[in-house]
Structure 1
Amino acid sequence: MTLGIVMLVHTAFDRAEQMIRHWADAGCPVVVHVDRHVAQETHDAFVTAVADLADVSFSRRYRGEWGMWGLIAASQAASRQLLDRYPQIQHVYLASGACLPLRPVNELKTYLAARPDTDFIESVTTGDVQWTVGGLDRERFTLRFPFSWKRQRRLFDGYVRLQRLLRVRRRIPPGITPHLGSQWWCLTRQTLTAILNDPRRAAFDTYFRQVWIPDECYYQTLARLHTRRLESRSLTLAKFDFQGKPHIFYDDHAELLARSGCFVARKIWPQADALFHRFPSGSQADLEPHTGTIDRIFAQAVDRRTSGRRGLYMQSRFPFMERENGFTAAPYTVLQGFDAIIPDLTSWVTAQTGVVAHGHLFATDKAHFAGGAAVYRGGLSDNAHLRDYNPKMFLTNLVWNGRDRHQCFQFGPADNQAIKWMLARDAHASVWVVTGGWAVSLFCSGKPASAVRSEAARLQQVESRFISALQSPDARSRRHIMTLAEFLGSPVDVLQAIVDDMAGHRATALAQAPVMVNLDGFAVFLQDLKNQGMHPYLAGDFAPVGKVKSLQSQPRKAYVMGKK
C-alpha cells in the first residue's frame, strides 16, 4: 500500500463511485471530499453506496467554489486524514470524481516506486506561464480577492479597480516565490507532510486565502520549499481552452487518450460509456507519460476555434470581421478598366486560363455571373438588392463556394464601392487596375465631351478613392496599377502577366491577343474633356493628335546571355 488517493467530488456520483471502487480494488486507500453544496440526502446516499469498502473514508466538507480557498481547505483536510490513517503511504494522488484512470493502477504504483523522492506537480513562475486568462498573473499575488469571480463579478472587478487606483500591494511572505500550475498533483508523503506541518503554515494560509485561484498556486509554490526532487508536470491529462475552461473528453477521444501515456485524464463526460468501458487499457509499462501529440492537436483546435478557416465565418465571430483569419478562402483576381478596352474580356480570359471569369459582380443592375447564370454556387442570387444587403459577405461566399477554381471578376467606378477596402486588405486578392478605363466607355458612347463631362468627373473621383484605398499603408492585396496610356504602351506584356498570375504553372504564352475597341480619335476626346474644364489625369498622357497604338501581338524582347 504505497499510493493513496484524495478525491474531490461534487457531481456525477455514479461515476465517482465507479472510480472509487477502481482505486480501492487496486489496493489504494481513498479519502473522499464531497462539496458542501451537495444536498445532505445526496451525500448520505453516496456514503452508503461505498460503505462496503473498508479503505474508503470521507473528510470534513467545505464549499469548493471555483477560484476560492475552499478547494485548498478540502484537499488539506482530506490529505491530513489520509496521511494520519495510512502511515505506509508514500505518494498521495489528487483526483476528482470526473477523472478516469487510463492505465492500470499497478503501472502507476510501479512508476512512482521507481521515483520514491519525486513530486509530480506543474510549478512555473508567472513570467514563464502562458496560459493565465483574465489579465491577472502577477497581480493575483499582490492584490486581495475576497469576492467570488463567478457569483460576485461586479464586486470582484470593482475591488480590483479600487486596489489598482489606491496602488495597494500585498506583501508576499518572505522565503517563497509564487508559482503556478495545474491543480492535479501527485506529491510524496514527505513533501505533503512538510507543507501541512510547516510552522509558518498559518501565515501562508492567511496569505493564499485571498489569492485569486489558490488551487493553481498554493501547492505549486509551497512544494518548492520542501521537495527533494520536483518534476514540473502532472501525471493527469487535463487540457484547458483559450478561456481557461477545462476541455471535456468524449467517446470519440478514445484514441487520443490512449496515445497520451498519462495515467489519469480529466474531465470525462459522465455519459462517455465507451471511455469508461475501454479504460484503463492494457499494459503500457514502458510508456513514459507524454502529451506532446495531444498538445499539438489541442493547439490546432484552439487555433481553429479562435481564428477559424480562411473565408469561413461562424456566427460568434461575425461582428469582428476585420479581425478574421483572412477575408476569403482562396486567391481570386479583380480586373478594373480592362473590359472597357477589350469588349469580350471574360470569354478571352476563360479561354486563356480556364478560370471562372465573371462580369461586373457589383454592377448596379445585378451581379453578372459567369455564363449569365441567375444563381451561382451556394445559392447566390444575381439580385442586386440581396447582394447589397452585405456586399462583403457576398464576395466571401462566392469565393468560398467556388474555391476549387480560381475566380475572376470585373470591377469599376460605376459599381458598388462597398467592397473597396476589402479588396485592398484581402491578401487573397490580386487587383489589376487600368486607371482611366472609364474614359474609353464614355468615348465609345458617341456623346460629345460636353455631355459626359460631369459623369467623367464623378467616375474619376470614385476611381481615385479606390486607388487611394489600394495604396493605403494597411493594404495587403497584390496591387498592379497602371494608367491607360501605360497599358496601351505594352498591352500584350500586361495581359501575359495577368494570365501568368491567374494560371500559375499552367500558364502559356498568349496564343492570340484579344480584340480591342477602335480608339481612333480618343486623344482628341480627352483634349475636349480638358477644354470643358475636366482633367482626366488618371488616363495618363496622350498626344493631343494622332492615333492610339492598336492592340497587336508584338515580339517580346530577347534576352541574350553571354559567357564571362
Structure 2
Amino acid sequence: MSVGLVMLCHEALERATQVARHWSDHGCPIVIHLDARVPKRDADAFEASLSDRPNIRFSRRYPCDWGRWSLVRATQEAATLLLQAFPDVSHVFLASGACLPLRPVEEMRDYLAERPGTDFIESATTEDVPWTKGGLDYERFTLRFPFSWRKNRRLFDAYVRLQRRVGYRRRIPEGMVPHMGSQWWCLTRATLAAILNHPRRAEFDRYFQRVWIPDESYFQTLVRLVSANVESRSLTLSKFDFQGKPHVFYDDHLQLLRRSDCFVARKIWPRADRLYATFLSGHADAMSAAEPNPGKIDRIFSKAIERRIEGRPGLYMTGRFPRIQRDSALTCARYTVFEGFGDLFPEFQDWLRRTTGLRAHGHLYAPDRAEFAEDQTIFTGALSDSATLRDYNPKAFLTSLIWNTRGERQAFLYGSRDTVPIGSFIASDPNAEIMVISGAWAIPLMRAQMAFPDIRKEAARLQRIENEHLMELRSGHTKARVQIWTLADFVESPAEPLQGIVDDVAVRRTGPMTEMPRMADLTGFGQFLQNLRNEGMHPYLMGDFPSGAALRREDAPAKPYIARENR
C-alpha cells in the first residue's frame, strides 16, 4: 500500500521543498510539475534541492494559467509519469506547493488502506453546487472560452455575449454528464489509469480545452464514467470566500486546522512558520485519529463570510464601507439625541447625567468644536473636538464615537444651529432615539443682542432648517425612534415627558423623578413670537403660544409629577 503525490508548484519553492521532503521521508513517491514561467535559475535550484531523493521526479513543464486547460494538461503529465515510475502506488493524491499535511502520513495511508476501492473527489452536477459565479454554471460546458478571464476580461465577456446572442451551443460528448468540484482529489490507481488511458480521451481533451475552469470539471466528470465507488468529498481542506477566492491560513489558524481532522490543507501562507514547524514535526500526536470532517469548522467560515459581506453595524473600516440602503443599523449601539432640550433647559446635560447615568454630551456638531461630556478635548478613541477634523467626515465621527464607547450609552444635543447636516443619517439609524422640542431654537434668539430685523432673518433660517429636518423624521423611511413635542406643549406640562424620558433611557433603575432641570426664563416669549409675526415671519413650529401671555417663570413651582403604581 503506497500513496503517491502529484504536486503542482509555481511559487514559494522553499516551502514546496520542505513539504516534498516530508512526504518523501515517509515513503510517498512524488512527481512535481513546476510552472514553466518559473525562472530557469530558480527552477534549477529547486530541482537540485531535491535531487538526493530517488522517489521524487519532475515532469515536463507547461506554463499554467488560472482557469485554463494548461492546469489539466500539467496534472495529466505528472500523473502519467507517477503511474509509470512507481508501479506500487495504489492511490494518487493531487496537491499544490501551498498544501501542508496536517496529520501523520501513516494515518492517511491506513485510512486509504481501509477503503482500497474508494475515490475521494468532489463531484456534483451544476444544479447542485452553489459556488458558480457570473451566471456561468451549465454554460461553462456549452459555450467556448478561448480567452483568459483574468488576462483578457473584455474579450472573455464580449465573446460570451456574442455566443449567447447568436444562440451558439457546444455539443457535450455523448454519454458524459458534466460535474464540478474541488481541484484537489485522491484517486485510486485503477481509476486514474482508466481516465488517462480512456479510449475516448482525445475526444474528451478536445472538448475540455474550451471549457471554463476545466481543472474543476475534467477529472470530476470523467471519474463518473470509470469509477464504481466515488465518495464526493475531498480529503484536502480548501475553503473559498464569497468571491471564489481561496482562504489563506496563517499561524493563528493552528487550532482551527487541528479541529478539521483533514489530512491536508491549502492554502498556507509561505511565512506561517508556526504551522510548518508544527505539522511537519513528525509527531504522531499532531492530530487526532478521526474522520476528516471540514464541516466541523464550516460555521466559522460561514460567519467570516457573513461578516465580510455584511460587516458589523457601526464599524467603518477600509475593508468594507457600510451601505445605507442595505445595512439595517448604521451604528453599533443605541444612543439618544436631544433636540431643543439644551435651549429650554440650560443645564440639561448635567441633569441628564445625574438622573439617568447616560454619558451626556453637549452639541457634538456645534460650529466651533465638538462639545464632549465634561468638556473634554480628546474623547475615547482619540476623537478630537476639532470642528475641522469632525466635519471632514461627520458620519464617521459619530459612528466612531458610538463604536469606541460600546457598553456605555451616549446622548448628545443637536439643533438647527449645528453646522453639520447629520439629521438624515441619524433618522435612518435604528439605533438612534431622537427627542425633539420643536421651536426651542427661538428661546436664545429672544435674548440675543441683535437688531430685530437680523433676529427675524435668523429665526426664518432656523425654522426652515428645523422644518426640513422634522419632515425627514416624520417620513416613512425613518428607522430611528422619534418623539416630537412642540415647545408650547412641552412647557405646559414638562414633568410628564421628562419622566417618560428618564424611564426610557436611564441605564440604571430609577423611581419617580425627584429633580426637575432648571427651565429658561420664558417671560415675554409669547410677545417675542408676536413681534416676529408683526415683521412678516410666521413662527409655527413652537405651537400655540398666546400673544403676550406670561408663561411659567424660572422660580415658579413646577407642576408636580404624580407616580401611580400599576396594579
| Alpha-carbon separation, structure 1, partners of 2:151 and 2:373 | 57
| Alpha-carbon separation, structure 2, partners of 1:328 and 1:551 | 41
Amino acid at match of 1:425: S
Amino acid at match of 2:123: S
With over 3 angstroms needed to count, the CA separation of the structure-2 counterparts of 1:26 and 1:423, relative to structure 1, is: same
With over 3 angstroms needed to count, the CA separation of the structure-2 counterparts of 1:174 and 1:436, relative to structure 1, is: farther
With over 3 angstroms needed to count, the CA separation of the structure-2 counterparts of 1:10 and 1:539, relative to structure 1, is: same
The farther-off stretch of 441-450 and 83-92 is 441-450
* Alignment-derived partner of residue 457 in structure 2: 454
Amino acid at match of 2:162: L
Q: Measure how far apart 1:260 and its partner are.
A: 1.5
With over 3 angstroms needed to count, the CA separation of the structure-2 counterparts of 1:322 and 1:40, relative to structure 1, is: same
Contact 1:450–1:529 under 8 Å retained in 2: no
Q: Measure how far apart 1:494 and its partner are.
A: 1.8
Q: Deviations over 1:75-94 (max 9, x none)?
A: 12222333344454332211
| Alpha-carbon separation, structure 2, partners of 1:182 and 1:296 | 19
* Alignment-derived partner of residue 175 in structure 1: 175
* Alignment-derived partner of residue 66 in structure 2: 66
**Match among 547, 555, 558 for residue 552 of structure 1:** 558
Is 1:472 aligned to 2:472, yes or no? no
Q: Which has the larger share of helix?
A: 1
Where in structure 2 are the equivalents of 1:86-485 lying within 5 Å?
86-134=86-134, 136-280=136-280, 281-283=283-285, 284=287, 286-317=289-320, 326-445=329-448, 452-485=455-488
Q: Deviations over 1:82-138 (max 9, x none)?
A: 334445433221112222111111211211122223222222333443334455434
With over 3 angstroms needed to count, the CA separation of the structure-2 counterparts of 1:220 and 1:496, relative to structure 1, is: farther
| Alpha-carbon separation, structure 2, partners of 1:129 and 1:547 | 76
| Alpha-carbon separation, structure 1, partners of 2:175 and 2:499 | 73
| Alpha-carbon separation, structure 2, partners of 1:527 and 1:417 | 30
Contact 1:256–1:294 under 8 Å retained in 2: yes
* Alignment-derived partner of residue 80 in structure 1: 80
With over 3 angstroms needed to count, the CA separation of the structure-2 counterparts of 1:229 and 1:533, relative to structure 1, is: farther
Q: Deviations over 1:218-250 (max 9, x none)?
A: 222232333323332211112233443333333
Partner-residue secondary structure (3-state), 2:541: helix
Amino acid at match of 1:496: Q
Partner-residue secondary structure (3-state), 2:421: helix
**Match among 495, 502, 505 for residue 492 of structure 1:** 495
* Alignment-derived partner of residue 522 in structure 2: 519
The farther-off stretch of 263-272 and 92-101 is 263-272
Partner-residue secondary structure (3-state), 2:436: strand
How many residue pairs get aligned? The number is 561
Amino acid at match of 1:431: I
Q: Measure how far apart 1:451 and its partner are.
A: 6.3
Question: Structure 1: where are the runs of 5+ without partners?
Answer: none
With over 3 angstroms needed to count, the CA separation of the structure-2 counterparts of 1:52 and 1:315, relative to structure 1, is: closer
Q: Measure how far apart 1:285 and its partner are.
A: 6.1
Contact 1:449–1:525 under 8 Å retained in 2: no
| Alpha-carbon separation, structure 2, partners of 1:449 and 1:170 | 83
Contact 2:352–2:358 under 8 Å retained in 1: yes
The farther-off stretch of 399-408 and 301-310 is 301-310
Contact 2:119–2:188 under 8 Å retained in 1: yes
Contact 2:316–2:399 under 8 Å retained in 1: no
| Alpha-carbon separation, structure 2, partners of 1:546 and 1:265 | 81
Partner-residue secondary structure (3-state), 1:418: coil
Contact 2:357–2:508 under 8 Å retained in 1: no
Contact 2:261–2:288 under 8 Å retained in 1: no
Contact 2:512–2:563 under 8 Å retained in 1: no
With over 3 angstroms needed to count, the CA separation of the structure-2 counterparts of 1:226 and 1:444, relative to structure 1, is: farther
Question: Structure 2: where are the runs of 5+ without partners?
Answer: none
Partner-residue secondary structure (3-state), 1:228: coil
Q: Measure how far apart 1:325 and its partner are.
A: 8.2
Partner-residue secondary structure (3-state), 2:351: helix
Contact 1:340–1:438 under 8 Å retained in 2: yes
With over 3 angstroms needed to count, the CA separation of the structure-2 counterparts of 1:557 and 1:5, relative to structure 1, is: same
Amino acid at match of 1:554: P
The farther-off stretch of 198-207 and 68-77 is 198-207
Give the TM-score normalised by structure 1.
0.89
With over 3 angstroms needed to count, the CA separation of the structure-2 counterparts of 1:360 and 1:68, relative to structure 1, is: same
Q: Measure how far apart 1:319 and its partner are.
A: 9.2
Amino acid at match of 2:376: A
Contact 1:59–1:77 under 8 Å retained in 2: yes
Contact 1:361–1:409 under 8 Å retained in 2: yes
The farther-off stretch of 174-183 and 548-557 is 548-557
Q: Deviations over 1:141-160 (max 9, x none)?
A: 33322122333333333333
| Alpha-carbon separation, structure 2, partners of 1:560 and 1:447 | 51
The farther-off stretch of 140-149 and 107-116 is 140-149
Alpha carbon RMSD of aligned pairs, Å? 3.1
Give the TM-score normalised by structure 2.
0.88
| Alpha-carbon separation, structure 2, partners of 1:72 and 1:325 | 45
| Alpha-carbon separation, structure 2, partners of 1:339 and 1:44 | 77
| Alpha-carbon separation, structure 1, partners of 2:198 and 2:496 | 82
* Alignment-derived partner of residue 3 in structure 1: 3
Q: Measure how far apart 1:435 and its partner are.
A: 1.6
Contact 2:64–2:71 under 8 Å retained in 1: yes
Contact 2:316–2:396 under 8 Å retained in 1: no
Partner-residue secondary structure (3-state), 1:159: helix
| Alpha-carbon separation, structure 2, partners of 1:307 and 1:527 | 53
Contact 1:513–1:551 under 8 Å retained in 2: no
Q: Deviations over 1:470-496 (max 9, x none)?
A: 233433222222322343354223222
Contact 2:456–2:532 under 8 Å retained in 1: yes
Amino acid at match of 1:57: R
Partner-residue secondary structure (3-state), 1:180: coil
| Alpha-carbon separation, structure 2, partners of 1:121 and 1:462 | 65
Contact 1:335–1:431 under 8 Å retained in 2: yes
Q: Deviations over 1:422-444 (max 9, x none)?
A: 11122322111122222333345
Q: Deviations over 1:480-519 (max 9, x none)?
A: 2232234335422322232233324544431212222343
Amino acid at match of 1:249: F
With over 3 angstroms needed to count, the CA separation of the structure-2 counterparts of 1:503 and 1:21, relative to structure 1, is: same
Is 1:509 aligned to 2:512, yes or no? yes
| Alpha-carbon separation, structure 2, partners of 1:267 and 1:381 | 42
With over 3 angstroms needed to count, the CA separation of the structure-2 counterparts of 1:166 and 1:491, relative to structure 1, is: farther
Amino acid at match of 1:92: V
Partner-residue secondary structure (3-state), 2:257: helix
| Alpha-carbon separation, structure 1, partners of 2:512 and 2:59 | 83
| Alpha-carbon separation, structure 1, partners of 2:475 and 2:229 | 58
Amino acid at match of 1:415: D
Amino acid at match of 1:29: P
Q: Measure how far apart 1:345 and its partner are.
A: 0.7
The farther-off stretch of 25-34 and 538-547 is 538-547
Contact 1:513–1:553 under 8 Å retained in 2: no
